[in-house]
Amino acid sequence: MITLKEIAGIANVSTSTASRALNNDPRISPEQRLRIQRIADEQNYTKHKARRMEGKKDSLWEDVGIIVPEINSGYYSNLVHIASDHFARQHYSVLLRLSGFDKDTLIRHILGFEKTDIRCLLIVADDAEQITEEVYQALHRTRIPAMFITTQYNPHMDYDSIYVDETRGIRTGVEYLASRGYTRIGFIGEEMTRGRLLAFRQVMREIGNPIIEEFIRISPSRAEEGGYDCMKQLLLMPKRPDAIFASYDQMAVGALKAIDEEGLKVPDDIAIMGFDNIIMSGYIHRGLTTIENPLEDMISIAVRVLMSRMKNGDAVPQQIALKPDLVIRGTT
């Protein structure tokens, strides 16, 4: 039984090029696809039999790429887990890359996927500044069908994208805190969450709540450590905030530890709200009040759009907005 590698040798192309041609990948010219398919037919190459010989689990399984900033946080690790499940239902395995919140690393991974057989690419880029013309150029060069998960509408987006309306979510959270009688609302975040801070400021102005600059803390550290450090600083103030909006749940977890160490009670002395509704949020303290990022819906839609994009590469790109929901628990 002839293998894909042998077909590639006869055609004088790489194995990945031969694979793409036999899968009708648009990155391969029609002439090249026809030539390689003709060689495969002449050699009686049967893809499903050859794949079994080459150790593939299933004749229908192919690869997709996912690029996320990191997997240390509960949000991103859960996103990758859910995406892997959804792609697996369509008989796709995931090749994962981490961008480290760095545009150049993101571009390097996009171009690196050109050497693989991935059928499509899902890119998570929370920072809109990472999605530059250079990123688009890299994607155009690879010709891989791609979709972005991001945090806001982008009028210049050249690709399909889906985002959660974070400003709407923060408005829901701040309005809820105000309705509970909290008037001195602070914000804790880190460098990668300045977009949420901008939304927090916007919402506070729109609903007429005073923005107290001393109650806003941006930490050089991330996750629980950053939340802990920010909260420690706020607790040293003679007049503390009565509620804190944490830029994401893991920062809220760190803040809760700092409050507990001071012997204060949540929510009696100070209320805490997070964002994302990661799994641990339902288990800490009496449960963390938070804004839910609808990951299941987001991934389900993203996978469906990518499957359609692979079939119809000329369709007009779409931007899909999802509504985040308030999850009320014991910290408010």
Provide the pLDDT for residue 44. Answer: 75
Collapsing DSSP to helix, strand or coil, 315 comes out as: coil
Q: DSSP letters along 218-268, please?
A: EESS-HHHHHHHHHHHHHTSSS--SEEEESSHHHHHHHHHHHHHTT--TTT
pLDDT of 213 > 80? The answer is yes
What's the CA gap between 226 and 78, in Å, rounded?
21
Report the 10 Å Cβ neighbour count for 302: 22
Kindly give, in sequence order, each residue whose CB lies less than 8 Å from that of residue 286, ignoring residues fewer than 6 positions away: 329, 330, 331
The answer on pLDDT for 282 being more than 60 is yes
Q: What is the pLDDT of residue 53?
A: 47
- Across 315-324, average pLDDT: 89
Quick one: tokens of 45?
Answer: 């190459």
289-292 and 121-124 beta bridge pairing = unpaired
pTM of the model: 0.76
Q: Give me the sheet containing 243-246, strands edge to edge.
A: 216-219, 185-190, 243-246, 271-276, 289-292, 325-327
Which DSSP string corresponds to 131-179?
--HHHHHHHHHHT--EEEEESS--TT--SEEEEE-HHHHHHHHHHHHHH
- The amino acid present at 312, given as its one-letter code, is N
pLDDT digits (tens, 9 = 90+) for 81-100: 899 999 988 888 889 999 98
Task: Read off the pLDDT of residues 232-259 as tens digits, 9 standing for 90 and up.
Answer: 999 999 999 999 999 999 999 999 999 9
Interacting residues of 175 by C-beta distance below 8 A, sequence separation 6+: 203, 207
Tokens of 14: 């790489």
**Angstrom distance (rounded) from CA 111 to CA 113:** 5
247 contacts 196 by C-beta, under 8 angstroms: yes
What does the H/E/C string look like for 105-116? HHHHHHHHHHHC
Tally of helices (H runs) and strands (E runs) in the chain: 12, 12
CB 176 within 8 A of CB 291: no
Q: Which domains does the chain have, with CATH numbers?
A: 4-53 (1.10.260), 62-164+296-323 (3.40.50.2300), 166-292 (3.40.50.2300)
216 sits in which H/E element = strand 216-219
pLDDT digits (tens, 9 = 90+) for 148-180: 998 888 777 889 999 988 899 999 999 999 999
Residues 6+ apart with CB under 8 A from 241: 184, 185, 186, 212, 215, 234, 270
Strands 185-190 and 271-276 come out as unpaired
